[in-house]
């Protein structure tokens, strides 16, 4: 029988991997999508991530996505500028 502690630790590690993957997907979408498409992609990622992340991780991902949505790309430069 598998120890409960080991299972919880494994689930935590896997959810950290999912969190990192979601952040990378959001960053990739920011660079490769039009603004409205990017926002739709973020919402889709958040909806699916909610099912597997802890509450704290989901809050972190939500904040991350919100910050990326506030940034505007400078056309042609590939650089992002934060809009306040």
Cβ proximity of 82 and 70 under 8 Å: yes
Per-residue pLDDT tens listing for the chain (84 residues) = 568 888 888 888 999 999 999 999 999 999 988 888 999 999 999 999 999 999 999 999 999 999 999 987 655 555 565 555
The model carries a pTM of 0.79
Note down the domain range covering 43.
4-82
Q: What is the distance between the alpha carbons of residues 80 and 7, in angstroms, rounded to a whole number? A: 40
The pLDDT, as a whole number, for residue 25 is 96
Q: Where are the alpha helices (DSSP H) in 33-54?
A: 35-49
The pLDDT, as a whole number, for residue 23 is 97
Q: How many of the other CB atoms lie within 10 Å of CB of 71?
A: 13
The pLDDT, as a whole number, for residue 11 is 85
How many distinct structural domains can be found in the chain? Answer: 1
């Amino acid at each position: 029988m598998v120890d409960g502690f080991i299972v919880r630790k494994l689930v935590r590690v896997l959810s950290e991997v999912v969190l990192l993957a979601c952040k990378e997907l959001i960053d990739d979408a920011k660079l490769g999508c039009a603004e409205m498409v990017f926002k739709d992609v973020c919402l889709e990622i958040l909806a699916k991530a909610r099912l597997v992340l802890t509450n704290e991780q989901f809050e972190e991902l939500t904040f991350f996505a919100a910050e990326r949505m506030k940034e505007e790309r400078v056309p042609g430069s590939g650089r992002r500028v934060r809009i306040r």
